Amino acid sequence: MKKLLVTGSAGFIGFHLVKRLMDKGYNIVGVDSLSDYYDVRLKKSRLDELDKYHSEKSPETGSLYRFIKLDISDKEPLFELFKSERFNYVFHLAAQAGVRYSLKNPQSYIDSNIQGFFNILEACRKYMPEHLIFASSSSVYGLNGQLPFSASHHTDHPVSLYAATKKANEMMAHSYAHLFGIPTTGLRFFTVYGPWGRPDMAYFSFTRKIFAGEPIEVYNNGDLMRDFTYIDDIVNAVALLTDKAPAENPSFNTLSPDPSLSSAPYRLFNIGNNSPVRLMNFIQVLEEITRIKAKKTFKPMQPGDVYTTYADIDDLADYVGFRPVTSLETGLKQFVEWYKGYTPLIYQNTEH
Residues 238 and 187: beta-carbon distance below 8 Å = yes
Known catalytic residue: 219? Answer: no
Strand extents, DSSP E, 25-127: 27-32, 64-69, 89-92
pLDDT of residue 343: 56
Domains of the chain: 3-190+230-272+312-325 (3.40.50.720)
Q: How many residues does the chain have?
A: 352
pLDDT of residue 60: 83
Residues 286 and 207: beta-carbon distance below 8 Å = yes
pLDDT of residue 92: 98
pLDDT of residue 59: 82
pLDDT of residue 138: 97
pLDDT of residue 58: 83
* CA–CA dist 219, 173 (Å, integer): 34
What angle separates helix 328-341 from helix 279-290, to the nearest 10 degrees?
50
* CA–CA dist 159, 162 (Å, integer): 9
pLDDT of residue 345: 52
Report which DSSP code applies to 24.
T
Radius of gyration of the CA atoms of the chain, in A: 20
Tens of pLDDT along the chain (352 residues)? 899 999 999 999 999 999 999 999 899 999 999 999 999 999 999 999 999 999 988 888 888 999 999 999 999 999 999 999 999 999 999 999 999 899 999 999 999 999 999 999 999 999 999 999 999 999 999 999 999 999 999 999 999 999 999 999 999 999 999 999 999 999 999 999 999 999 999 999 999 999 999 999 999 988 899 999 999 999 999 999 999 999 999 999 999 999 999 999 999 999 999 999 999 999 999 999 999 999 999 999 888 888 899 999 999 999 999 999 999 999 999 999 999 988 545 444 343 3
Q: What is the pTM assigned to this prediction?
A: 0.95
**Beta carbons within 8 Å of 151's beta carbon, 6+ residues apart:** 188, 259, 260, 268, 269, 270, 312, 315
Nearest to 133 by CA among 91, 105, 104, 95: 91
pLDDT of residue 352: 31
Which one from 37, 38, 89, 162 is the annotated catalytic residue?
162
Strand extents, DSSP E, 150-295: 184-189, 192-193, 216-219, 225-226, 229-230, 266-271, 277-278
